[in-house]
């Protein structure tokens, strides 16, 4: 019943060339780093067969795999939390969201899914919550408990060390707060835990923060970055190293790159890959997401690849409704939906929902953007069509990994790029 | 005979919190990154039992372990070579060294140990070498061969894809060139391959580039870095997170950190941990290196830890002699060797040996410095003595890892710090 998801199996680990280059080398941490999910022969202090403490005979929680254990262990390292907290765009958006919904939170019961150090739980307690359940499967929960106690909030904030699938909360909750977003929004698959918490505990009419999330895709040009890794080989100290070009192209960009670009790198308005309504989304919708896109380049430039980014909104349940891609205000052109009116997504008054954005034109966050580079750039003219499809799916190897299947055509030529975001 | 080094055994891999924080995240590469050595269940296209092709019944080459395979695979990734070549301090030092010894190299036979893309071999060919054997066990050798061919040097540069322990060269060589230095000089254990090449092929009176290497240790102060990771937790958005301090101290600096510091961070002249004469050093000397040190702080400052760095010299064999620590010009004070005369190690004329330095006061390199931070800083006064011992030893888990045992005393208190450089 639980063995099918691989408990006890040690998946083959990919060899990689390892760390990140640059100034940060040697400092531990790195939130949502892809390294954290590369489970191998871990020790399993937390691992248990899900059937051991099965709570609901009709729908036992999914088993905790070796990869999950590695994932939880990674979040036990303080550096990850340090980086997240130091991302002021992120942390202030959450704090502002809590304060904006203070009237709803006051006197209510909250659950914080994946509480980490407990900072969001404490924000909610400060906003007047009656009780906050701070849940985390990582050993960081031990520290969260200490922090709560040191701030004299032990009466209000109850830290539960375990998965939301496994812990017991003996009441329904009014509010779910969670900072679940991974690179490319869905990498890490932590949204599933929010869905689980919602289905287990959220009252009808309750509040989920954030309430919606939108993943975008856009074609990009990035000559400096491309040349830095590729054209570099044409002349190395006077030596012709062009023989390295094929392998350089293959190596440099075979995996998705988490990097910061700016609005100037983006060739068109983005396409909505997925709009997530946290009130209604179901677990099975996350297994595979497919969309067709059609862009019209706004300039003449070499197309070097595509960028993903996302934003999340912190409005109340009343503001949340399922926006289909064709209704989205920020969408690339498609046959049935030409771009004619591009509204801003910035708040213009306090009644508009608060947005945490990781877009290239917004202040950078630790999520940066996720880039898929092409083997060879395509020279596109102004107004040239770039079209194709993208499929994001949970890897069979580890559901926290993401397979990215990108098909793209322009100027009469078509290509397919497969990447795995490990 | 070969099994004892662990062929076929999969050592338990350590879980880590993963990647590096900062701007470089997501870009692959990272030379000498510690990630590269974390072997796990790798596939073994190159692995073979050393006894299969034993060349010398008296001293068979050491077996190629799983960790070695992972090491060679890591160097197949082009990003590592890109970073090394783009380290101009490094690459120009080698090019200058070849040019400085051009009269010796002309018409001679060279072996390049761990040739990578082949750039040092090509420098030697350009300097007039009769023949260059470019040896690398990583698949990068395939590209090196292409580069050599594209530069019309296939007659001169013979690329051999294999370990120096395993490949056959049917003549003695005049010159060994190798860029074998890892973080903390000896991390990676690649010097062993140079020793093997020397003992197998180098003619009497031959040239080794570089000829000597010196590893230094010095106490450092680094308040910004320490506060950034530790004191940060005292007040996080108005929340008292001091409860995180013990784990923050434990997590932030439990492993050696590869970071760039400047001369201003260094409290005293350095101590020579090890001087390596590449002509005479033996493999067994690298297994464990111990030294006692005694520093006298030049200022009042918090002692945050210790830094390692190294330099290598490119003089000819005539200039190379074993310098014992007590003869070294750049040494911290010790009971029998007070600091009285500190010469510069910069070249003042062309007859002085060319030095590639990774010292804090010199231009930064991709090796940066290796820092061992203390759990709690020690406030030292000017002239206060800091003394103790350090032992660097090859890990039993993987000889390319390094155990660092650091004992330090100051102001009447003594501490021991154990770190593993994985």
The answer to whether the peptide bond before residue A419 is cis (omega within 30 degrees of 0) is: no
Spatial neighbors of B162 by CB under 8 A, at least 6 apart, are: B135, B137
Q: Do B34 and A12 touch (CB under 8 A)?
A: no
Catalytic annotation present for A379: no
pLDDT at residue B215 in the model: 98
CB pairs under 8 A between A and B: 250
Minimum-distance CB partner of B18 among A33, A85, A241: A33
**Between β-strands B131-136 and B109-113, what pairing exists: parallel, antiparallel or unpaired?**
parallel
Helices and strands in chain B: count of H runs, count of E runs: 9, 15
The residue in chain A having the minimum alpha-carbon distance to the alpha carbon of residue B126 is: A239
Chain A residues touching B244 at Cβ < 8 A: 78, 117, 143, 146-147
Task: Supply the pLDDT for residue B66.
Answer: 80
Pairwise CA distance, residues A349 & A347, whole Å: 6
Which chain A residues touch B38 with a CB distance below 8 Å? 18
The whole-number mean pLDDT for each consecutive block of 10 residues of chain A, a chain of 422 residues, reads 29 27 28 47 36 47 80 82 96 98 98 97 98 96 96 98 96 98 94 98 97 98 93 95 92 91 98 97 96 98 98 76 37 39 43 91 97 95 98 90 96 94 90
How far is it, in rounded angstroms, from Cα A338 to Cα A12? 46
Per-position DSSP letters for B205-229, written without gaps between them:
EEEEES-EEEEEEEEE--HHHHHHH
B17 contact residues in A (CB cutoff 8 A): 28-30, 33, 35-36, 74, 76-77, 79-80
Contacts of A317 (CB under 8 A, 6+ apart): A205, A206, A207, A208, A211, A279
pLDDT at B192 over 90: yes
Q: Tell me A156's DSSP state.
A: T
pLDDT (average), residues B90-96:
98
User: CB distance B257–A27 less than 8 Å?
Assistant: yes
- Sign of the CA dihedral A177, A183, A186, A189? negative
Angle at A341 (CA atoms; ends A336, A346), nearest 5 degrees: 125
CA of B276 vs chain A CAs: smallest distance (Å): 26
Instruction: Look at A17 and B260 and tell me if their CB atoms are within 8 Å.
Output: no
Just list the catalytic residues of B.
179, 188
CB contact under 8 A, B256 and A42: no
DSSP string, A345-408: -S-SSTTSPPEEE--TTSPP-TT-EEEEEEEEEEEE-TT-EEEEEEEEEE-SS-TTSEEEEEEE
Give the pLDDT confidence of B137-188 residue by residue, as tens digits: 999 999 999 999 999 999 999 999 999 999 999 999 999 999 999 999 999 8
| pLDDT attached to residue A36 | 47
Q: Which of A73, A83, A165, A188 is catalytic?
A: A188
By C-alpha distance, the chain A residue nearest B364 is A23
* Residue A31, pLDDT score: 43
* Residue B337 burial (10 A CB sphere; 0-12, 13-18, 19+): middle
Tens digits of residue pLDDT in B269-278: 999 999 999 9
pLDDT at residue B148, as a whole number: 98
Residue A380 in contact with residue A411, Cβ under 8 Å? yes
> Domain spans of chain A?
15-421
Maximum distance among all alpha carbons in chain B? 72
Chain A residues within an 8 Å CB radius of B70: 15
A179 noted as active-site residue: yes
Inter-chain residue contact A30 with B27, CB threshold 8 Å: no
Whether B243 and A146 lie within 8 Å, measured CB to CB: yes
Nearest Cα to Cα of residue A122 among A160, A87, A148, A85: A148
Residue from B27, B33, B234, B248 whose CB has the most chain A CBs within 10 Å, to mutate: B27
> Under an 8 A CB cutoff, do B232 and A119 touch?
no
Interface of A with B in 32-51 (CB under 8 A): 33-36, 38, 40-42
From CA B315, how far away is CA B319, in angstroms rounded? 6
**CB spacing of B26 vs A77 below 8 angstroms:** no
Distance (Å) from the C-alpha of residue B237 to the closest C-alpha of chain A? Answer: 9
Contact list, B251 vs chain A (CB under 8 Å): 28, 77-79
- Cβ of A17 within 8 Å of Cβ of B82? The answer is no
Q: CB A23 to CB B24 under 8 A?
A: yes
* Residues B13, A41: C-beta atoms closer than 8 Å: yes
Chain A neighbours among B 209-248 (CB < 8 Å)?
229, 232, 236-237, 239-244, 247-248
pLDDT value of position A17: 29
The CA distance from A315 to A351, in Å, is: 9
Residue B53, both tokens: 């092709």
- Which tens digits make up the pLDDT trace of B394-416? 988 888 899 999 999 999 999 99
Burial status of residue A392 (CB atoms within 10 A of its CB: 0-12, 13-18, 19 or more)? buried
Catalytic annotation, pick one of A73, A83, A165, A179: A179
How far apart CA B128 and CA B18 sit, in angstroms, is: 45
Q: Do B243 and A147 touch (CB under 8 A)?
A: yes
How much of chain B, in percent, has pLDDT values that exceed 70? 78
Q: Which residue has the tokens 């765009």?
A: A89
The better pLDDT of the pair B44, B75 is held by B75
Smallest Cβ–Cβ distance between B17 and the set A22, A74, A91 belongs to A74
User: Chain A residue with minimal CA distance to B85?
Assistant: A236
Residue B38: the pLDDT is: 47
CB atoms A252 and B28 under 8 Å: yes
CATH number of A15-421: 2.70.160.11
Q: Where are the alpha helices (DSSP H) in B127-272?
A: 140-150, 191-201, 223-229, 245-252
Give the pairing type, strands B413-421 and B402-410. Answer: antiparallel
Sign of CA dihedral B373, B379, B382, B387: negative
- A125: left (phi > 0), else alpha (psi -120 to 50), else beta? alpha
Of chain B residues 247-286, which have a CB less than 8 A from chain A? 247-248, 251-252, 255-260
Interface subset of B 133-172, CB within 8 angstroms of A? 143, 146-147, 149-151
The three-state secondary structure class of B320 is: coil
Do residues B215 and B331 touch, judged by C-beta distance below 8 A? no
CB < 8 Å to B80, chain A:
17
The mean pLDDT value for B12-16 works out to 27
Are β-strands B109-113 and B173-178 bridged in parallel, bridged antiparallel, or unpaired?
parallel
């Amino acid at each position: 019943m639980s063995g099918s998801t691989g408990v006890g199996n040690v998946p083959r680990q990919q060899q990689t060339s390892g760390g990140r280059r640059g100034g940060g080398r040697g400092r531990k941490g790195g939130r949502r780093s892809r390294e954290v999910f590369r489970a191998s022969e871990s020790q399993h202090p937390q691992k248990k067969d899900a059937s051991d403490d099965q709570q609901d005979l009709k729908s036992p929680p999914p088993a905790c795999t070796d990869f999950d254990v590695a994932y939880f262990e990674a979040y036990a390292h303080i550096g990850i939390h340090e980086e997240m907290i130091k991302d002021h765009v992120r942390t202030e958006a959450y704090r502002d969201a809590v304060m904006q919904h203070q009237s709803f939170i006051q006197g209510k019961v909250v659950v914080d899914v994946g509480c980490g150090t407990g900072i969001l739980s404490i924000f909610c307690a400060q906003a007047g919550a009656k009780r906050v359940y701070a849940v985390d499967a990582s050993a960081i929960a031990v520290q969260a408990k200490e922090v709560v106690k040191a701030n004299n909030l032990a009466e209000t904030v109850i830290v539960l060390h375990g998965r939301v699938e496994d812990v017991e909360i003996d009441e329904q909750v009014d509010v779910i707060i969670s900072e679940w977003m991974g690179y490319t929004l869905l990498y890490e698959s932590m949204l599933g835990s929010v869905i689980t918490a919602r289905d287990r505990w959220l009252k009808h009419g309750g509040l989920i923060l954030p309430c919606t999330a939108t993943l975008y895709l856009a074609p990009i040009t990035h000559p400096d970055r491309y040349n830095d890794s590729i054209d570099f080989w044409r002349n190395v100290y006077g030596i012709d190293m062009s023989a390295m070009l094929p392998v350089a192209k293959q190596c440099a960009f075979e995996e998705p790159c988490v990097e910061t670009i700016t609005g100037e790198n983006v060739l068109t308005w983005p396409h909505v890959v997925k709009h997530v309504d946290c009130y209604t989304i179901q677990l099975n919708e996350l297994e595979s997401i497919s969309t067709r896109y059609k862009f019209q380049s706004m300039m003449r430039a070499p197309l070097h690849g595509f960028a993903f980014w996302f934003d999340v909104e912190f409005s109340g349940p009343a503001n949340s409704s399922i926006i289909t891609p064709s209704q989205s205000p920020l969408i690339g052109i498609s046959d049935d939906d030409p771009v004619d009116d591009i509204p801003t997504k910035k708040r213009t008054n306090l009644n508009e929902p608060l947005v945490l954005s990781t877009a290239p034109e917004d202040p950078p966050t630790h999520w940066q953007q996720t880039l898929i580079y092409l083997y060879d750039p395509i020279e596109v003219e102004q107004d040239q069509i770039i079209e194709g499809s993208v499929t994001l799916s949970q890897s069979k190897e580890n559901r926290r990994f993401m397979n990215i299947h990108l098909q793209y055509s322009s100027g009469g030529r078509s290509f397919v790029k497969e990447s795995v975001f490990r």
